[in-house]
Structure 1
Amino acid sequence: MPKNPAVPGGQKKVRYSKLKKLNSAVRIAAMLLAALMLAPLPAAAGDTDSGDAGELLVYKAGNSYGNIASGSITLTQPEKRATITHYNLYWGNKDGRIPGYTALKPLSGSGDVLTYNFENTLIPEGTTRIIACAVKGGSETEYASAEVNTDNSFVFGELKYTLGILSDIHIPQNMGDLHVRHFRSALSQIAAVAPGNLGLLTVGDNVDGSNDMPAVVKEQYSNFLKVLGDSEFKDKFYPTIGNHDLFLYNLKKDHDYVAGLFAEYFGHPLDYDVWLNDSLHLVILGDSVGGDNNATITEEQTKWLDGKLSERYGEEGVVTILALHQPLYNTVAGTFPGQGWNGIDESSEPLLRNVLKKYPDAIMVNGHTHWEFDSKGVMTDGGSDLSYIFLVPSCGYLWTDEQKAKTGSQGYVLEVYDNAIRMRGRDFGQDKWAPQADFVIQMKESAKPETSAPATESVPATGTDNQVTSNGGSMKTAAFVLAGVAVAAVVTAIAIPGKKKK
């Protein structure tokens, strides 16, 4: 008989030499008993999330809703992995990858076990597993997969309306430029995936600008309108001004002249608001000075902003979106310490923050940094001190956490449902949805329905001190929950959340 095998700690060893003295029947019974005692004890219920600890890929769900990814994935790397640069993760089913979606953020590292943490994004319909592909020399091979259970999914209700959102388009003089092709493609894709949309919101740097030639900027504006005119968005276009749109200030030293070109070609002032229907309110804010990368927001502007954000704030179903090209410091990708692309003047930061903290359930969209969807922090829920903030990547070209330029084009499609707001990232370069930027904010009923929305655009009135309606505090939380008192249209999010020419 072979030598006693090793026995797990706490289990009794059996002395096989004593079995020889037993009769054959008893010996068989004793041997069976010994085998049972040597077998490893079963794992207790709940010890693993998706099977045995030896699985190469394990998905740990962290949310009570099956279609919301808010947990983590752990991947055990093979011993021989010198040629593997990273792993691409895809939502999939029994037939392979879910069509129409890019990979999630790349997973890489030197450790034996790698962890991917989800930022509370939506799991595409039809998903039953997540697939990890090892990337070697530019090609990828399926390495492992883990089961995904989407039972008990959050119900969105009926889709009510949609809106395309782009930023940093940078249309140049040359109509054959890649930026022009990116813009055409983005407009075409938004029209295809969001039929019947309410229009297009741009978050600044519509044109590339020029420091010293007004004729160049005028031609850029004309080129922009040519592309827009070939799309369905010609008469439903809502632009925000960016620092590149104001570059001529360096020559003219006349903010009104440069801003006047924006108004002349686009038909909108720097600061304005518009109700696109009875429930979607756009508020657009622009740099009052120009001449550099930072925006200066004056006290007069913040008074106007305060009044506009308060309009029907807290009413059931009302969605308020503030568009401002430059983001605040330490809020979204590109603005974190050491990155250097926050763009609000130091004197303006406290003024703007003091207004936004009154409206934590509004949504602010920024551009300027170009940071791609794979970056850290493309969205923040703002807590009780700020609104929800989304970084809109560039339609023209992208930037990475490694401070490198990257060819690509990305943006958002806003989808508003009966029960939720969905900010749905789109990778226009790949003509696919971006699953790592598919964020959901739950809609809430209101405690105080008011009058119907105005139907016309308005601009700030000089010297007007608008009355502010405060909601008395936000019920915003990092967890995705359906319970809670209603204080605004949206109170709960399930998303937590180099010097270059921009």
Structure 2
Amino acid sequence: MKKSKILLNLLVTTITTISLIAGTAVSASAHTLQYGFSVISDTHIGINDNSSHTQQAMTNTARALNCIKNNFPNDKCIVINGDVVDNYYDSSYSTLANIVNNANSSGKRLPYIYFNLGNHEFKKQGTYSSDPSDYNWCISQFVTQTRAIQVKLSPASNVSYSCRDTDKAYDLQHVNNTPFFFLGTDSIDWGSTNDCAYLNPDYQLNYLDNHIGSGLSFVFCHQPPYNTVDGSDSSNCITNTDDLSQVLNRHPKAIMFTAHTHLSFENSSDYGKLGVCPIFSSPSIYENSEGYHVNVYDDCVYVQGIKYLSNNNYATDGNWSTTVSR
């Protein structure tokens, strides 16, 4: 899809709906808030190319979690949509656990956190290629390590918290009876394409197709569908985007969140479409300290871009926010 068409669709959507929910208008309108959640990505805990980057990843992740906790206390969950760690070492997951535990132990409690796979969860070092022979072990490592973090959190009502399968790259959970699908690559390759994701049509996409239902659903994949948002080129995408598009076109109330590009709200078009499905691309917490806050209303979904300034303060901009009708 050409960028001009994407921007036109976004402009039309914004003009027709944004006035109904922008700012404080939502609470005073006929819209009924059902629940909220936050989406961040690319925290890259464990990055060790130099000490300042290591500290930056830790500081920005802690700030984002505390800011969400302090400003959106009624959120049902937080989704960290891939590249949660920079490599597959135990030490990186241990550092992540310490950050989450510290944020959860000081005063207010964190919402439940869902973790999703990115490309860095399969790397020995962030700058290295992934090793296909480590694929199964890396998934098990990811599920085991993140589950140990999740069990110390307290899910809110109507938030599912079943353990992911240790042999599958995908998962299904529910928030307020809304499906939350977490997609991840079913294979990895050596070389320049190892940052892409392949979603097996016979297994992962078939499962998605059969369980997504006819109502609102949220789909999360670290890598973006090809040629949808800025940065979604052939080396940084879902390689079989056409297969995914066929599934999502059968479920027109799905909304997808992706990541991976590290492009800030100011320097990219973070919104696109795959067929009828809206696509939102999260910037990197490690590099930009930005993410999304999502409010689900009875008749629309408001996706608001957030810059996390401190443990207590954040900034937003109307240009970073979009409304999707349900």
TM-score calculated relative to the size of structure 2: 0.76
CA distance in structure 1 between the partners assigned to 2:246 and 2:315 by the alignment:
38
CA distance in structure 1 between the partners assigned to 2:110 and 2:120 by the alignment:
22
Number of aligned residues: 273
Greater relative contact order (Cα < 8 A, sep 6+): 2
Q: Is the 8 A contact 1:320 1:363 kept in 2?
A: yes
In the other structure, the counterpart of 2:113 is 237
> Is 1:414–2:294 an aligned residue pair?
yes
CA distance in structure 2 between the partners assigned to 1:204 and 1:434 by the alignment:
25
Describe the superposition over 1:420-475 as per-residue Cα deviations: whole angstroms up to 9, x where unpaired. Answer: 21111101147212321111122xxxxxxxxxxxxxxxxxxxxxxxxxxxxxxxxx
Q: Is the 8 A contact 1:169 1:206 kept in 2?
A: yes
For residues 61-76 of structure 1, the aligned pairs below 5 Å read: 63=15, 67=19
In the other structure, the counterpart of 2:323 is 440
In the other structure, the counterpart of 1:226 is 98
In the other structure, the counterpart of 1:427 is 307
CA distance in structure 1 between the partners assigned to 2:293 and 2:222 by the alignment:
17
Q: Is the 8 A contact 2:228 2:273 kept in 1?
A: no
How big is the shift at 1:290? 2.6
From 390, 394, 414, give the equivalent of 2:280: 390
How big is the shift at 1:170? 0.4
CA distance in structure 2 between the partners assigned to 1:220 and 1:432 by the alignment:
29
Q: Is the 8 A contact 1:156 1:418 kept in 2?
A: no
Describe the superposition over 1:196-242 as per-residue Cα deviations: whole angstroms up to 9, x where unpaired. Answer: 21111111100011xxxx6xx11101111111122347671111100
- Paired letter, 2:93: Y
CA distance in structure 2 between the partners assigned to 1:282 and 1:182 by the alignment:
25
In the alignment, structure 2 segments of 5+ residues that lack a partner are 1-13, 148-163
TM-score calculated relative to the size of structure 1: 0.50
In the other structure, the counterpart of 2:10 is none
In the other structure, the counterpart of 1:260 is 140
In the other structure, the counterpart of 1:286 is 184
From 163, 169, 172, give the equivalent of 1:273: 172
Cα separation, partners in 2 of 1:410 and 1:271, compared to 1, 3 Å: same
From 173, 191, 198, give the equivalent of 1:296: 198
Specify the structure having the higher radius of gyration (Cα).
Answer: 1
Q: Is the 8 A contact 1:182 1:429 kept in 2?
A: no
How big is the shift at 1:185? 0.7
How big is the shift at 1:360? 2.3
DSSP-derived class of the 1:230 partner: helix
In the other structure, the counterpart of 1:374 is 266
Q: Is the 8 A contact 1:185 1:428 kept in 2?
A: yes
From 239, 250, 267, give the equivalent of 2:130: 250
CA distance in structure 2 between the partners assigned to 1:432 and 1:259 by the alignment:
35
Q: Is the 8 A contact 1:67 1:154 kept in 2?
A: no
Cα separation, partners in 2 of 1:417 and 1:253, compared to 1, 3 Å: same
CA distance in structure 1 between the partners assigned to 2:224 and 2:133 by the alignment:
24
How big is the shift at 1:64? 6.2
Cα separation, partners in 2 of 1:123 and 1:198, compared to 1, 3 Å: closer
CA distance in structure 1 between the partners assigned to 2:16 and 2:132 by the alignment:
57
TM-align CA RMSD: 2.7
In the other structure, the counterpart of 1:171 is 45
Identity of aligned residues (%): 23
How big is the shift at 1:252? 6.7
Cα separation, partners in 2 of 1:190 and 1:350, compared to 1, 3 Å: same
How big is the shift at 1:63? 4.0
Cα separation, partners in 2 of 1:243 and 1:63, compared to 1, 3 Å: closer
> Is 1:202–2:84 an aligned residue pair?
no
CA distance in structure 1 between the partners assigned to 2:207 and 2:181 by the alignment:
10
CA distance in structure 1 between the partners assigned to 2:209 and 2:95 by the alignment:
35
Q: Is the 8 A contact 2:122 2:131 kept in 1?
A: no
Cα separation, partners in 2 of 1:166 and 1:65, compared to 1, 3 Å: closer
Q: Is the 8 A contact 1:283 1:308 kept in 2?
A: no
Describe the superposition over 1:283-312 as per-residue Cα deviations: whole angstroms up to 9, x where unpaired. Answer: 1111111341011111221111111212xx
In the other structure, the counterpart of 1:307 is 210
Cα separation, partners in 2 of 1:243 and 1:418, compared to 1, 3 Å: same
CA distance in structure 2 between the partners assigned to 1:220 and 1:162 by the alignment:
29
DSSP-derived class of the 1:352 partner: helix
Q: Is the 8 A contact 2:132 2:188 kept in 1?
A: no
How big is the shift at 1:259? 0.9
CA distance in structure 2 between the partners assigned to 1:154 and 1:358 by the alignment:
35
